[in-house]
Chains A and B, each alone.
Chain A
Amino acid sequence: MNKLVKREELGALAVTLQAEAAKGAGVARIFVGMSTCGIASGAEPVYAAIAAALAEHKVQNVELVKAGCVGLCYVEPTVDIQLPGKPVVTLGNVTPERGRQLVTEMIGNGQFESPFSVNDAAFKKQVRIALRHCGRLDPERIADYVREGGYQSLAKALFELKPEDVIKTIKDAGLRGRGGGGFLTGLKWELARNAKAAPKYIVCNADEGDPGAFMDRSVLEGDPHCVLEAMALAGYAVGARYGFIYCRAEYPLAVKRLEIAIGQARELGLLGENILGSGFSFDMQIKLGAGAFVCGEETALIHSIEGKRGEPTVKPPFPAESGLWGKSTTVNNVETLACVVPILEKGSAWFRSIGTEKSPGTKVFALAGDIKNVGLVEVPMGMTIHEVLEEIGGGSRDGKPIKAVQTGGPSGGCIPQSKFDTPIEYESLTALGSIMGSGGLIVMGSNTSMVNIAHFYLEFTCDESCGKCTPCRIGNRRLFEILDRIVKGQGKMEDLLKLEELGAVIKDTALCGLGQTSPNPVLSTLRWFRSEYEDAIKRGQKPVTYSILAEKCVGCRACVKACPVPCIDGTAKKPHVIRQEECIHCGACFAKCKFAAIVKE
């Protein structure tokens, strides 16, 4: 493909590609889900086996695609087969053996054994906006994206819309940041547009650090171009010419696919100088993180891009006024950006028609933990937690009731089963003491100890606290020590009050978003599962009791002599008895007894 220098050429290319696809209407397409989790489950040998079988049977008219993830993580590796004029058939848990067999079935009668029932009600409850292309195109081929109408929104904006119009559309759509806070994206862009300092920068926050969240990885691995196009659009809207994608080093495949995507977009003239002859220039580079959770916070992220320690700074000034190198910087999360192109394509009214009044659109959730259907789901905002967990997630693995669900990662909280009828929205989750966060939903089965979960998160926070502000650095350490005491059975009832008081202080006084939300796991579990804390403390307080086994006691009186109280009754050569109400549990009698007649419980 040659470099495109005019808008018409992009349109023409899309038409050609679509025509080619239509000409090949008789072509079957086989998609093998090959993102990180698919590959770890063994998708590579499956792909090789299918390719070999296709060659062996000399099958024509088949396109074998290395696609992203469709989100059915629990049955990976997955293969999607689209026969001409038929709906897509999904097959799960495919082995290389089964892969070869699939080819035989396909060239046979076109009927597949035990296909995965994707067309059930649960799957239909999903609405795919951010994940719309994941698993349906080859992320390493820009032609696939262009064929699906990719980069047309950018072209339309560059030639038909003023930057203000783009901002207005996003603002009207009510798109809110999907990375945590839920700030209005359009407003963020407007603030940046109005900032004086030039040059301006666009930053894509792909430092998906919340344990249990992997939707951004999935988007980057499955549909990288939608993020690049959105960044260019954001650049046009706010008046920036350069962007950075800050991606975590733990996602090597995402980085590789982004590099390929950026290279191909440049070659095609969709990034770089004078895009499509519009006079607008935009380019970008990838910056690698280095394993610091706090770098998901936007000011910390900016410092990390500058090559410094990723420590946050006080807001205001907001990055829109003073960010990278003191210039106006717009930071948007991957999933947020993935919604931008669909909004410009279909309009703000369409986006508003999905979801709720205050939280329009969809949210991608990563279901993990003690749940049957682990994977990625994209649902309209306002769906209840119950619907997501039971109807889409299939309930718990062991079939027992789910005890709680954790949202928002280390900054979020645990929501008890009694609140599962809550619709998922930014405000409603905050009211329950949790947050939307990036969208990890970690399911806790009936055996999970909520005290241990809080302990786990606090350990994480202590480890990841950057150390800049005292409430987070020392406050969380103290919280952790108190929790540790409780877990080890050395807690006291007044510790619970201390946890609450200290947690509230940290929330009020910590410098950044990480610190201000770090007590949430403790506070929310205390709020909903207080009895578990009390039980843990009581278990620890319960002293050891000693008693004498009458059948073993010979009445030697050694224990009576050893007892400091004394509280052991009995006459010589007859079994003795300990008066439990007076016993101080010192264990002196236990140590003295030579006949193993005293037992400890």
Chain B
Amino acid sequence: MKTPDSEVQAFLELEAYIAALQVAGSDTAGRRAVLIQVLHKAQDLFTFLPEEVQKFIAAKLNLHLSEVYGVVSFYHYFKTKKTGKYTVDFCLGTACFVRGATKLIERAEKMLGIKMGETTKDGRFTLGSLRCVGACSLAPVIQIAGKTYGRVTEDQIPAIFNEYKG
């Protein structure tokens, strides 16, 4: 959990990032052009994009909040719900599908007692999916905290999850 202090810190950092882009004096098109990269930065800092962060960005870029929300909701990468400490992303590209990704998901859902897109009660894991990470040779693939696991079998799922304790 982020402490309020670290949240303030994140807002300050976001503000500095936006200021460094030097678009305050630009026309709407110029300010709009940096919106997606600002959202990327914000999600790095906050792990997701809650309403207050979207409002903050809208104000700083002088764009309407509806436009910011429109972009956030359009792209899969941006998340508006708080996620668990670790997001387990199952690749659902065709190669992984053909090689049995759905079986891995069923196993993980059963093990954690949650469905795709949900977070465990202890806030440890969120189950998510990805569209092809381009590592098709390793199919089926799962990604946790930036680490890629390839050629995963159902039986390996518990052991992999156990690497992420606490």
Contact = CB atoms under 8 A, between A and B. Distances in A.
Interface in A37-51: 37, 39-41
B77 A291 contact: yes
Interface in B97-116: 97-99
Interface residues of B, number: 38
Contact of B94 (A39, A249, A442): A442
Interface residues on A, range: 35 or more
Nearest to B39: A290
Contacts of A291: 75-78, 131
B24 interface: no
B1 interface: no
Given A288-B36, A308-B32, A212 B74 contact: no
B137 interface: yes
A162 interface: no
Interface in A280-310: 287-293, 304-310
Interface string A398-423: 00000000100100000000000000
A369 interface: yes
A218 to B, nearest CB: 8
A350 interface: no
B98 to A, nearest CB: 5
Given A40-B138, A310-B74, A250 B95 contact: no
A512 interface: no
A189 to B, nearest CB: 25
B102 to A, nearest CB: 9
A242 interface: no
B88 to A, nearest CB: 15
A211 B148 CA distance: 17
A101 B37 CA distance: 46
**Which of B35, B92, B132 has the most CB atoms of chain A within a 10 A radius of its CB?**
B132
Contacts of A378: none
Contacts of A370: 98-99
A456 B94 contact: yes
Interface string A450-468: 0001001100100010100
Interface in A205-227: 208-214, 217
Contacts of B96: 211
B139 A368 contact: yes
B34 interface: yes
B135 interface: yes
B71 A307 contact: yes
Most chain B CB inside 10 Å of its own CB: which residue of A208, A307, A456: A307
B76 A36 contact: no
A292 B76 contact: yes
A503 interface: no
B150 interface: yes
Given A37-B137, A37-B138, A212-B95, A307 B77 contact: no
B157 interface: no
A41 B94 contact: no
A375 interface: yes
B131 A74 contact: no
A428 interface: no
B32 A444 contact: no
B78 A290 contact: yes
A440 interface: yes
Contacts of A440: 94, 136
Given A209-B131, A250-B132, A368-B136, A309 B95 contact: no
A448 interface: yes
A491 B39 CA distance: 44
Contacts of A208: 134
Contacts of B131: 209, 211, 250, 291, 293, 460, 464
Given A307-B36, A309-B74, A442-B95, A41 B150 contact: yes
B96 to A, nearest CB: 8
A306 to B, nearest CB: 6
Contact of A366 (B33, B92, B98, B136): B136
Contacts of B71: 307-309
B139 A287 contact: no
Nearest to B73: A309
Given A214-B134, A442-B98, A309 B39 contact: no
Contact of B95 (A292, A368, A460): A368
A412 to B, nearest CB: 10
Nearest to B34: A307
B39 to A, nearest CB: 7
A125 to B, nearest CB: 19
Contact of B134 (A251, A292, A374): A251
A214 B136 contact: yes
A290 B77 contact: yes
A370 B136 CA distance: 11
A211 to B, nearest CB: 3
Contact of B33 (A36, A249, A305, A368): A305
B105 to A, nearest CB: 13
A481 B34 CA distance: 39
B132 A212 contact: yes
Given A211-B131, A309-B71, A442-B95, A290 B40 contact: yes
A340 B70 CA distance: 38
B58 interface: no
A325 interface: yes
B91 to A, nearest CB: 8
B29 interface: yes
A56 to B, nearest CB: 29
Contact of A37 (B36, B37, B92, B135): B135
B136 A374 contact: yes
Contact of B132 (A210, A443, A445): A210
A211 B78 CA distance: 20
Contact of B29 (A73, A290, A325): A325
A118 B149 CA distance: 27
Contacts of B150: 37, 40-41
Given A40-B148, A305-B33, A307-B33, A374 B137 contact: yes
12 contacts: A39-B148, A40-B148, A76-B137, A211-B92, A212-B94, A214-B136, A249-B77, A290-B77, A306-B29, A307-B34, A311-B74, A442-B94
Given A307-B34, A307-B36, A442-B95, 5 more contacts: A37-B135, A212-B95, A290-B40, A369-B99, A409-B94
3 residue pairs, one from A and one from B, having the closest CB atoms = A73-B137, A211-B93, A290-B75
Interface of B: 29, 32-37, 39-40, 70-71, 74-78, 92-99, 130-139, 141, 148-150
